[in-house]
Amino acid sequence: PAPATDTTKGSSSDGTHRPAKRLKPADPPVEGNHSKVFKFDPSKYTWQGVPLEDYKPPSDDSWKSVSRTELIGRRGETPRFHVRYFEVAPGGYSTLEMHVHEHVVIPIRGTGEAMLKTRVWPIKYGDLIYVAPRDPHQFSCPADAKEPLGFLCMVNAERDRPVPLNPDFLLSGSACER
């Protein structure tokens, strides 16, 4: 006969470990500081229950064709970081800006460019971009791209406000000073 099992401890009578019974979980509420899973829809690059937002106010002409999705950090979670997903449509670009806080960017869709200080880097899926404090930066997607540039961005939960920059700032040499 098969050995008896103890379902409360997740092991059998012969001492071998086996996984505890798993129940199909109910979808957790989006709001609140509790463990949760947001299911990703790869056909739309969206996460179930997480709304798409404007990148910045529409009246701001320092950016073009960018959307933002706040994944973690805005619905009751208390991490020391926030995780966001940005998408830049072909021909679009984020604001040229700088700030004291640092952030990390990981492209997960398309190709584009990351301007860090005065250098422009081609970026693609899986690249890792670190934006140092006070470094001017901007992300863009070529007008002839077949799909948007989409990237995850991790940033400090407590951070300063970005300062928009005029492109002439980069030409002045100030961007190279520390």
Catalytically annotated residues: 153
Rounded Cα distance between 62 and 97, Å, is 9
Phi-psi region of 119 (alpha: psi -120 to 50; beta: other; left: phi over 0): beta
Distance of alpha carbon 70 from alpha carbon 50, whole angstroms: 7
Helix (H, G, I), strand (E, B) or coil at 175: helix
Alpha carbons 13 and 93: distance in angstroms, whole number: 62
